[in-house]
């Protein structure tokens, strides 16, 4: 999965004292795109290339290297171009630890962008001088990084699993997935999402693994469960274009090996019997 980058390590402890050096890597985002050189190899600009006079915000360390975010920077730099983060996810020339750094940087960048102004009183927020937080100087509102929990669900029916494909966006095989609603447990999200998307009731809900998914500010929790009663599928046609029971050996995996969804489909395809 994208976060499995051993022997590399992402250390996202906030470092108040970190200052960029000319060689520090800098992430620059414009909506869903990141400024990168993808021309046969993969690199992102340095602090010197972005400009040492720009506002560079400490993000995290990848091994010993501190990464910074250039906020409010939208210029082109020769040799680099804005490239969709989703395209970089499947780019073979980019090493996984670099891709994971970009996805994590995207999550932090989106959070900084969305908390430029106070949601309580509308004033401009400042970076906290104590921790990773945005603080409103007017009303004192303190906003910490936001993570949205969501579930990925492998629904098992004997030797078959429920495979879906979304109507919009990612066009490869997927599993039932959805965001947790306020007031809901993860297990309740599992049961509700499977019912909403496919009309199937489930039992024996069992946790599998989790995955940070910064492209969508998510923390994904993967669960397997079994169909309970009728196996008839009533697909939500607004959300899905495909939902079918697929035999283990017929499961077609995603092209990349980055997602929790793909790992869960692979675990079932490989014949694991301990998933529920
Ligand atoms: Zn405020």
Centre of ligand 1 from the C-alpha of residue 145, in Å: 16
176-179 and 148-157 as β-strands: parallel, antiparallel, unpaired?
antiparallel
The pLDDT, as a whole number, for residue 87 is: 85
Q: Provide, rounded to the nearest whole percent, the portion of the chain with pLDDT above 90.
A: 88
Nearby residues of 41 by Cβ (< 8 Å), 6 or more positions away: 93
Q: What does the block give as tokens for 61?
A: 């360390």
CA distance 205 to 153: 9
Percent of the chain with pLDDT over 70: 100
Q: Is the peptide bond before 173 cis (omega within 30 degrees of 0)?
A: no
Q: Which two tokens stand for residue 42?
A: 């993969």
Query: Is residue 125 located within the same domain as residue 78?
Result: no
Residues pairing with 127 in the sheet: 134
Query: How close is the Cα of 119 to the center of ligand 1, in Å?
Result: 7
- In this prediction, residues 263-275 reach a mean pLDDT of 96
Per DSSP, the residues of 72-111 read: T-----TT-EEEEHHHHHT-TTS-HHHHHHHHHHHHHHHH
Rounded mean pLDDT, 73-89: 88
26 Cα to the center of ligand 1, angstroms: 29
The C-alpha atoms of residue 118 and residue 135 are separated, in whole angstroms, by 8
CB 211 within 8 A of CB 264: no
For the residues of 93-162, what is the DSSP string, one character each? TS-HHHHHHHHHHHHHHHHHHHTSB-TTT-PBPEE-SSSS-EE-TTT--EEPPP-EEEEEEEEEETTEEE
* Residues whose CB falls within 8 Å of the CB of residue 164, separated by 6 or more in sequence, listed in order: 173, 174, 175, 176, 197, 198, 240, 242, 243
| Separation of CA 125 and ligand 1 centre (Å) | 7
| Ligand 1 ion: residues within 5 Å (CB) | 118, 120-121, 123, 136, 138-139, 141
Residue 79 sits in a domain whose CATH number is: 3.90.79
Mean pLDDT of 130-137: 96
In the predicted model, is pLDDT for residue 57 greater than 90? Answer: yes
Confidence of residue 76 (pLDDT cuts 50, 70, 90): confident
Query: Model's pTM, two decimal places?
Result: 0.92
- Determine contact, residues 77/50, Cβ cutoff 8 Å: yes
Alpha carbons 206 and 246: distance in angstroms, whole number: 20
- Indicate whether 4 belongs to any domain: no
Looking at 144, 160, 183, which one is the last position of a domain?
144
The answer to whether position 47 is within a domain reads: yes
Cβ neighbours of residue 213 closer than 8 Å, sequence gap 6 or more: 2, 103, 150, 219, 220, 259, 260
Claim to verify: residue 61 and residue 171 sit in the same structural domain: no
Output the CA 124–ligand 1 centroid distance in Å: 8
Q: Measured in angstroms, how far is the CA atom of residue 214 from the centroid of ligand 1?
A: 26
- pLDDT 10s digits, 164-218: 999 888 889 999 999 999 999 999 999 999 999 999 999 999 999 999 999 999 9
Q: Are residues 61 and 161 in the same domain?
A: no
Q: Give the integer Cα–Cα distance in Å for 27 and 69.
A: 5
Q: Which of 77, 74, 66 is nearest to 33 (CA)?
A: 74
Instruction: Choose the final residue of a domain: 97, 114, 131.
Output: 114
CA of 72 to the centre of ligand 1 (A): 21
* Domain with 16 in it: 10-114
Distance 31 CA to ligand 1 centre (A): 25
265 and 153 both lie in a single domain: yes
pLDDT of residue 94: 82
Same domain, 94 and 156: no
Q: Into how many domains does the chain fold? A: 3
Q: 275 CA to middle of ligand 1, Å? A: 47
**Distance of CA 114 from the midpoint of ligand 1 (Å):** 14
Closest CA to 268 of 173, 193, 198, 177: 173
Residue 274 lies in a domain: no
Statement to judge: residues 88 and 107 lie in one domain: yes
Q: 158: CA distance to ligand 1 center in Å?
A: 54
Phi, psi of 203 (to 5 degrees): -145, 175
Distance, CA 189 to ligand 1 centroid (Å)? 33
């Amino acid at each position: 999965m994208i976060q499995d980058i051993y022997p590399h390590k992402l250390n996202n402890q906030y470092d108040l004292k970190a200052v960029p050096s000319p060689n520090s890597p800098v992430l620059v985002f414009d909506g869903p795109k990141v400024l990168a050189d993808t021309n046969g190899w993969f690199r992102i600009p340095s602090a010197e290339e972005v400009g040492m006079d720009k506002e560079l915000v400490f993000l995290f360390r990848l091994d010993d290297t501190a990464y910074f975010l250039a906020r409010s920077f939208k210029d082109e730099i020769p040799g680099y171009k804005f490239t969709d983060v989703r395209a970089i996810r499947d780019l073979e020339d980019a090493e996984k630890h670099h891709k994971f750094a970009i996805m994590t940087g995207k999550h932090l960048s989106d959070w900084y962008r969305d908390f430029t102004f106070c949601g309580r009183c509308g004033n401009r927020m400042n970076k906290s001088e104590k921790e990773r937080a945005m603080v409103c100087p007017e009303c004192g509102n303190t906003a910490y990084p936001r993570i949205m929990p969501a579930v990925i669900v492998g629904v098992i029916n004997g030797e078959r699993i429920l495979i879906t494909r979304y109507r919009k966006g990612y066009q490869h095989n997927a599993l039932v997935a959805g965001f947790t609603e306020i007031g809901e447990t993860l297990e309740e999200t599992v049961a509700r999402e499977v019912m909403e998307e496919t009309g199937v009731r489930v039992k024996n809900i069992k946790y599998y693994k989790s995955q940070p998914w910064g492209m969508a500010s998510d923390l994904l929790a993967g669960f397997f469960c079994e169909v309970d009663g009728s196996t008839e599928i009533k697909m939500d046609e607004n959300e899905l274009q495909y939902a079918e029971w697929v035999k283990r050996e017929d499961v077609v995996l995603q092209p990349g090996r980055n997602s929790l969804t793909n790992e869960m489909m692979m675990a079932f395809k490989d014949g694991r019997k301990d998933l529920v």
